A and B are shown apart, each in its own frame.
Chain A
Amino acid sequence: MKFDTGMIGILVMKDWSLMNKYILVYASGIIFSLIVLAIPSSASFYMGSILLLTINITIGFHSISSSIIGEKKENTVPFIMSLPISPTDYAVAKVLSNLGLFLLPWLATFLGLTALFTLTKMPMGILPFYYLICFQLLLNYVLVLGVSLILESEGWMIFTMVIVNLLLNVVIMQLAQLPEFNAHFSSNTFDWPNLATYICLAQVLISAIVLAMALVKQSLRRTFI
């Protein structure tokens, strides 16, 4: 695989520039969700959690649909294809810009949750469960990104979104039923079980494989069309 790092950088900055005002909106949404989560009541706890989940899912959907599918629908792709780039440069730039667009708010969520549980009297024992949900959100996002990059189809992107969101519910329910996690939900100490490490590694590994597959598939393309 040969890359033009200079042009990839320009394309990434271009995508970020197109999304910059939305990044601010989502960042504000994450801060608001964390504040709601910190209010000491069970209703606000659930509401804050759902808000965080919703915002992270929306960011992923928005960045992929506007930067990959949107470019195709709005015919800005011919403009980009005319630039001195190869299909591989384009694919690498799309992976980097989208990962960045997702990872920034995702990281804010991750760190915000850590800070919230550390600085308040909220039960630290639930934090590993929250971390695994965060990693599942990352995996879900990467699956949608991979499918969108390979198939470049809005229909397939929406279908994958639906499937991974259903999968998220299954994962949340399954994790919540495991004693390694639910036994510590009310505990004030942070206890990271071995099972969490394995699940987390599996989530990261699958994400890396999906991204690698998408990049290899795109790098085999000699032309854009």
Chain B
Amino acid sequence: MSTVISMRNANKRYPQFGLENLNLELESGEILGLVGVNGAGKSTTLRILMGLIEIDSGEVEVFGQAMPKAQVAVKQNIGFASDDMRLYKQKTLGWHMQLIRASYRQWDDKYATHLLQRFKLKPEQLVKGLSHGQRVKACLLLLLARRPPLLILDEPTTGLDPVARLDILEELAEILRDENRSVLFSSHNTQDIEKLSDRIMFLHEGRVIASKDKDSFIDDWRSVRCSGNIDPDKICIPGITRVKKNGSLIDITVQGYREDFNEVLRAQKLEIIHVSRLTLEEIFIANIRREMMQ
């Protein structure tokens, strides 16, 4: 596996916000999901990788080339889409396809036709007549049909209704399975990230607060529901991030869960009702809360 993206100690300062010592690596064939609330720095990070924003300090390389210096050559190999990207509404999808075909030597006509059928789009459709979901699909078609080895998708499902979102995620998951390409995509929707990613990175206020492969993330966290009359502050097991008491019920959120924790809790006169895994959204919230408490 080769390194496709390498970002080392990247800093970017704005008056109200900044990225701090951001480190990010993406290997060939890997799908990395960036999760963060609005304003966490996801879009800024992706735009830095596209060579659209220059960092104040640090190093950014994509395909081994320094950004933004090599942005023209590197962008030949990146398919980029963002939620704020719009096509020319007075023109047809076919007109946009012609424009992209002229701009990229790797444009694949056969694949474009295949994607048109798959996304149920027609080249003669005017962009202004497309629904939001169709516009997102049109953007994906335009970037996928040139078969870029790296996809950078900034909140591709934002603003879509649940049906269109699921539709696009399913299409995307299938396409990504078919292809040997690296993908970096951001979302504040953890379900989207969970569905597509191999590895997940949580961003908060311009810093990486956690980064792991998806399975380890999910496996690492548990919610333990117990009952007992004990002061929640006195519960002592390593990795506790939150204890919530509701009557005699106590919910403990714990990172780095091990089977022997149950014995430790029982020793503290707590009866374990059940132990469950957390969803990625719950893990994300737990991370943010821990970060805010620090």
* Distance to closest chain B CB from A14 (angstroms): 6
Please tell me the size bucket of the interface on A: 20 to 34
B152 (CB) vs chain A CBs: closest residue = A82
Q: List 30 A-B contacts (CB under 8 A).
A: A4-B72, A18-B88, A18-B91, A74-B86, A75-B85, A78-B82, A78-B84, A78-B85, A79-B86, A79-B87, A82-B50, A82-B75, A82-B80, A82-B143, A83-B75, A83-B103, A84-B72, A84-B75, A84-B76, A84-B103, A84-B104, A85-B72, A89-B72, A222-B54, A222-B69, A223-B52, A223-B54, A223-B71, A225-B47, A225-B52
* Distance to closest chain B CB from A223 (angstroms): 5
Question: Is B36 positioned at the interface, with any CB of A under 8 Å from its CB?
Answer: no
> Which residues of A are at the interface with B, using a C-beta cutoff of 8 A?
4, 7, 10, 14, 17-18, 74-76, 78-79, 81-86, 89, 222-225
B79 (CB) vs chain A CBs: closest residue = A82
A79 (CB) vs chain B CBs: closest residue = B85
B103 and A223 form a contact (CB under 8 A): no
Residues of A within 8 A of B103 (CB): 7, 10, 83-84
> Which residues of B are at the interface with A, using a C-beta cutoff of 8 A?
47, 50-54, 68-69, 71-73, 75-76, 78, 80-82, 84-91, 95, 99, 102-104, 139, 143
Provide the bound-state CA to CA distance between A34 and B177, in Å. 63
A223 and B51 form a contact (CB under 8 A): yes
Provide the bound-state CA to CA distance between A152 and B51, in Å. 20
Provide the bound-state CA to CA distance between A76 and B103, in Å. 16
**Contacts A76-B86, A76-B87, A84-B103 given: A17-B95 contact, CB under 8 Å?**
yes
B104 (CB) vs chain A CBs: closest residue = A84
Residues of A within 8 A of B87 (CB): 76, 79
B103 (CB) vs chain A CBs: closest residue = A83
* Distance to closest chain B CB from A27 (angstroms): 19
Provide the bound-state CA to CA distance between A10 and B95, in Å. 12
B44 (CB) vs chain A CBs: closest residue = A225
